[in-house]
Amino acid sequence: MDKVVSSSAEAVADIPDGATLAVGGFGLCGIPSVLIAELQSTGVRDLECISNNCGVDDWGLGLLLAGGQIRRMVSSYVGENKEFARQYLSGELEVELTPQGTLAEKLRAGGAGIAGFWTRTGVGTQIADGGLPWRYDDAGNIAVASPAKETRTFAVASRQADGTTVTEDHEFVLEEAIATDFALVRAWKGDRHGNLVFRTTSRNFNPLCAMAGRVTIAEVEELVEPGDLDPDAIHLPGIYVQRVVPLTPEQAADKRIEKRTVTSTTDSTKAGA
């Protein structure tokens, strides 16, 4: 099945107001920047986005945030976006902060058809006990707080350095899987059937977000024909992808980083002296 669509505009045209979106990338690495920019131009609103972070003030999901198009974020790290902090603290944005590994597993579980899982991460904190601020009001009071989650004690066996096995009781918290209406991801290479290959660190949240989306849209830097990809090198099979958007060379090359640190010529000369 040929899943290539003619344009990014066609790919996101049916994403409605109020949709849930899983968005791949880590920081600005591997983010589907072309699809995000296209979504910005549609004016769609009240989105709930699940992503490791929310871009920066002028790039990535930060574009949707600046336009008031995001109602709720489920994220792990949000420290690079001043507008994000402003909206959250002023009560304009609801935020569910989630431990990074837990967020990754929630997305993977959603794609695998698993309803939930038990983890020790968050036990004894507001993640499990509830009370984590999700939304403030305009006066700075907590308007919506996270609910308490179900916990349970399991006997866990661990092997010791001397080779013996010790069984101990540990408390776990139940985390529910995430499945979204749509997913937006970016791949290094992809074929017309939707099989994808991610390059280096962009193989982080992209495969997991793609799995979680009921309709997954992938922008690919290089489109190849079916059979050109080594089956053993495919990171995400096409069964998880419904639409493929090939990028132009200019779009593929437009990549940014959050912070750039450079050494001046003077400093370099002194260091080598």
Tell me the mean pLDDT in the region 251-265.
Answer: 83
Measure the CA–CA gap between 258 and 26, rounded to whole angstroms: 11
Q: Look at residues 159, 18, 134 and name the one whose alpha carbon lies nearest to residue 75.
A: 134
Confidence class for position 258, pLDDT limits 50, 70, 90: confident
Question: E strands along 160-207, which residues?
Answer: 165-176, 180-191, 196-197
201-237 pLDDT, tens digit per residue, is 899 999 999 999 999 999 999 999 999 999 999 999 9
pLDDT at 271: 58
Q: Any idea which residue has 């296209």 for tokens?
A: 38
Measure the CA–CA gap between 12 and 26, rounded to whole angstroms: 21
Helical ranges in 31-167 per DSSP H: 33-42, 61-66, 82-89, 100-112, 126-129
Q: How buried is residue 167: exposed, middle or buried, by Cβ count under 10 Å (0-12/13-18/19+)?
A: exposed
Task: Please name the fold of domain 8-115+177-253.
Answer: Glutaconate Coenzyme A-transferase (3.40.1080)
pLDDT at 270: 61
pLDDT at 78: 84
First to last CA, the chain: 62
pLDDT at 74: 98
- In this prediction the pTM is 0.91
> Percent of the chain, pLDDT > 70?
97
Structural domain spans, the chain: 8-115+177-253, 117-131+147-176
39-85 pLDDT, tens digit per residue, is 999 999 999 999 999 999 889 999 999 999 999 999 999 888 899 99
